[in-house]
Amino acid sequence: MVLSGLNSLLTFNQYVLNAYYGQDMALLKALEELHRLSREDFQRIPELAINPLGDRIINAFFPEGEDQVNFRGFMRTLAHFRPIEDNEKSKDVNGPEPLNSRSNKLHFAFRLYDLDKDDKISRDELLQVLRMMVGVNISDEQLGSIADRTIQEADQDGDSAISFTEFVKVLEKVDVEQKMSIRFLH
């Protein structure tokens, strides 16, 4: 059908973006029904495959326990990276908080650390993510001290783990909007 010519994620994206920004609802509906992506589709992207956090990022697209993500899910995850100023265009004061608000962007980053989804970043989880980012180049002890220091600085309620509120507090001075936004040229 419409999707017969798509053989890469990029072509899919261009379709999606064309449809999304062109408000082509018929196409959006068609894409919603038919196309599904698996983890292998993502892993085929070389620049993503060499990203130290590649697996965590790919994981963010897939709902709990599922191996396929449909178009709607894909766009929802992607929407976290829309620039915040885009919200000016669609002022829906009574609607739910947009996915690309500062708070939701931070929540997305929090979930990259929170491996078991218990709304806390434990020392163990922090160590695992750190290990992904540094590979074999730093010893266990050094990594351990980094993790300890980070938790010590952030932890306010003394449970040796970082909750989402504590996470937000630590990052209150960081320009989240700029660091977690992708601007489209058009």
Partner 1 sequence: MEGTELAVQVVGTWLALVLSLILLPSAFGVSLGISEVYMKILVKTLEWATLRIEKGSPKESALKISASGGIIQRDESPMEKGISGHRGRDFELSDVFYFSKKGFEAIVEDEVTQRFSSEELVSWNLLTRTNTNFHYISPRLTMVWVLGVLVRYCFLLPLRITLAFFGISLLVIGTTMVGQLPNSSIKNWLSELVHLTCCRICVRALSGTIHYHNKQYRPQKGGICVANHTSPIDVLILTTDGCYAMVGQVHGGLMGVIQRAMVKACPHVWFERSEMKDRHLVTERLREHIADKKKLPILIFPEGTCINNTSVMMFKKGSFEIGGTIYPVAIKYNPQFGDAFWNSSKYNMVNYLLRMMTSWAIVCDVWYLPPMTREENEDAVQFANRVKSAIAVQGGLTELPWDGGLKRAKVKETFKEEQQKNYSKMLVGNGSINTESS
In order of 33, 39, 124, 125, the CA distances from 81 in angstroms are 24, 20, 28, 24
Give min distance, CB of 58 to partner 1, in A.
Answer: 8
Smaller CB separation from partner 1, 8 or 66 = 8
Q: Minimum CB separation from partner 1 for residue 178, in Å?
A: 9
Nearer to partner 1, 93 or 182 (CB): 182
**Is the CB of 34 or the CB of 133 nearer to partner 1?**
133
Residue placing its CB nearer to partner 1 in the complex, 46 or 65 = 46
When the beta carbons of 18 and 156 are compared against partner 1, the nearer one is 18
Residue 79: which H helix or E strand, with range? helix 71-79
Residue 61 CB neighbour total at 10 angstroms? 18
Residue 82 is encoded by which pair of tokens? 């829309």
Calculate the alpha carbon distances from 128 to 132, 141, 154, 171, 173 in Å: 6, 13, 18, 21, 25
Q: Give the residue carrying structure tokens 């960081």.
A: 174
Minimum Å gap between C-beta 72 and partner 1 is: 16
Taking the least distance from each CB to partner 1, the nearer of 8 and 165 is 8
Place of tokens 């507090």: 169
Distance CA 181, CA 86 (A): 11
Q: Minimum distance from CB of 27 to partner 1 (Å)?
A: 10
Output the CA torsion sign for 55, 105, 98, 3: negative
- State the Rg of the chain over Cα: 19
Q: Which residue ranges make up the site for partner 1 (CB under 8 A)?
A: 5, 7-11, 13-14, 17-18, 21-22, 42-54, 56-57, 78, 81, 108-109, 112-113, 129-130, 133-138, 142, 145-146, 148-150, 152-154, 162, 167, 170-171, 174, 176, 179-186
Closest approach, Cβ 80 to partner 1, in A, equals 8
Minimum separation from the CB atom of position 93 to partner 1 (A) = 28
